[in-house]
Amino acid sequence: MPDPLSTNVQNLKASETVAISNEAKRRKAAGEDVYDLGVGEPDFDTPAPAVQAGIQAIQRGMTRYPPNVGIAELRRGIAGQLSRMSGGRSVDPDQIVVSSGSKQSIFNACFTLFGSKDRVLIPSPAWVSYPQIVHLSRAEPVLVPGDVEWGLKVSAKDLDRHHTTSTRGLILCSPCNPTGAVYTLPELRSIAEWARKHEVWIIADEIYRRINYGSGPAPSLLDLPDELLERTVIIYGASKAYAMTGWRIGAALAPPHLTKAMAALQSHTTTGANHPAQWAAAAAFTDDKVDGEVNRMVAAFRRRRDYLVERFRSAAPGIEFVEPHGAFYFFFRVDGIREKDPVTGTSFCEQLMKQEGVALVPGGAFADDRWVRLSYAVSDAELEAALDRILRLIQRLESARAA
Ligand code: PMP
Ligand code: GLU
């Protein structure tokens, strides 16, 4: 028997999204005919001005330790971007901490805000890493199931049902991974008012904010008045809208005392994010050409979303799904395919990989195994071919039920 590990990791499970992606990559490398619609990672290349800025940073010798909280150019670039998206509201770059991906930003925020005996509400289905990060902070993740009739979103009333005097935080993701649902501004306002009343911190994960199929970026807590934002952390980053997942640049915007604590924490863990990558991201957030690229990528995601929805509606009309308004995920329900011996997200994904060579993520990874998540951040050709296979499996399972 190996020595027991620390209680720090007693609840720790490795990320299922990362594991599925690694497995799909392994199969592809081994020459298997596999489509990976599992991982949420844009298929586009990082826009050229950001790449150039990264290369030049290396050539200019920006290869030493960065400032721990991030280079001023990047913090200003992020503040400017957040400000522009929210009608020019003032955003202070000094309240931004740059990290190695927004995953670390969320970790920094949770670790500095929460501790044992605290409860943190997480609307569910929820992105895999939220409950794990809350556990690592020794707090208790409390899943709040979203309403099926309402894109699996939660309301202040739902939060209220799970609230106790120990509730200290709420992690809200909009546009949402894994569902693609987007909270409207009135919905955000009502949740922010609820949080203020109960003195609950909101960690607003807005990493997908620009990938929104309404007009402009998705509504944000930053669109609300200051008095509703006293206990708010905004999470943003370069990975998704800027196709920069591998550069590992994320950010948190928070009140000054929290910014200071997150910076101190990070000074003992990473000493700041990769230095050349920060220069690349600074270009991404400020260069007009990149802005145009982002708009083109979002238009491509929208086109794929429309295609996907249309194909599901025509070829699998019995399959329920969440109307996707943002991010690049499509969340569909499989438990109704067979009434007796219901299909689960896990069994569906296993059969799909084995019989059709397509990787998707079972809803169980997001705490609801009645569903399956598909990422359409893949090329049009891959999406079309993978969809043929997915719909073929659904039709096979449905005809087995009818027989
Ligand atoms: N939040 C959400 C909702 C995500 O889907 C991801 C994807 N990895 C992240 C945060 C973290 O992204 P990154 O660390 O690449 O910024
Ligand atoms: N966020 C992406 C996903 O959900 C990337 C993998 C991860 O970090 O979880 O697939």
Q: What is the pLDDT along the chain (403 residues), one digit of tens a residue?
A: 788 899 999 889 888 888 888 888 888 899 999 999 999 999 999 999 999 999 999 999 999 999 999 999 999 999 999 999 999 999 999 999 999 999 999 999 999 999 999 999 999 999 999 999 999 999 999 999 999 999 999 999 999 999 999 999 999 999 999 999 999 999 999 999 999 999 999 999 999 999 999 999 999 999 999 999 999 999 999 999 999 999 999 999 999 999 999 999 999 999 999 999 999 999 999 999 999 999 999 999 999 999 999 999 999 999 999 999 999 999 999 999 976 778 999 999 999 999 999 999 999 999 999 999 999 999 999 999 999 999 999 999 988 766 6
- Ligand 2 pocket, residue 22 CB under 6 Å: no
Atom 4 of ligand 1, nearest CA residue: 177
Atom 11 of ligand 1, nearest CA residue: 103
Complete domains list, the chain, with CATH: 7-45+291-402 (3.90.1150.10), 49-287 (3.40.640.10)
Count of beta carbons in the 10 Å neighbourhood of residue 84: 14
The bound ligand whose nearest atom lies closest to the alpha carbon of 109 is: 1
What does the alpha-carbon distance between residue 270 and residue 267 come to, in Å, rounded to a whole number? 6
Residue 331 confidence (pLDDT): 98
* Strand, helix or coil for residue 302: helix
Residue 259 confidence (pLDDT): 98
Residue 342 confidence (pLDDT): 83
Question: Residue 207 Cα, ligand 1 centroid: separation in angstroms?
Answer: 7
- Ligand 2 pocket, residue 15 CB under 6 Å: yes
- Ligand 1 pocket, residue 40 CB under 6 Å: yes
Of 151, 160, 200, 203, the closest CA to residue 179 belongs to 151
Angle between helix 48-59 and 275-286 (nearest 10): 140
Residue 399 confidence (pLDDT): 84
Non-local CB neighbours of 130 within 8 Å, separated by 6+ positions: 106, 122, 141, 171, 173
Residue 339 confidence (pLDDT): 67
Atom 8 of ligand 2, nearest CA residue: 18
Question: Residue 74 Cα, ligand 1 centroid: separation in angstroms?
Answer: 19
Alpha helices in 36-184 (DSSP H): 48-59, 72-85, 102-113, 129-136, 156-161
What does the alpha-carbon distance between residue 248 and residue 151 come to, in Å, rounded to a whole number? 30
According to DSSP, residue 32 is labeled -
- Ligand 1 pocket, residue 239 CB under 6 Å: yes
Indicate left, alpha or beta for 394 from its phi (over 0: left) and psi (-120 to 50: alpha): alpha
Substitution site in 25, 41, 331, 376 for ligand 2 pocket (most atoms within 8 Å of beta carbon): 41
pTM: 0.96
Residue 341 confidence (pLDDT): 77
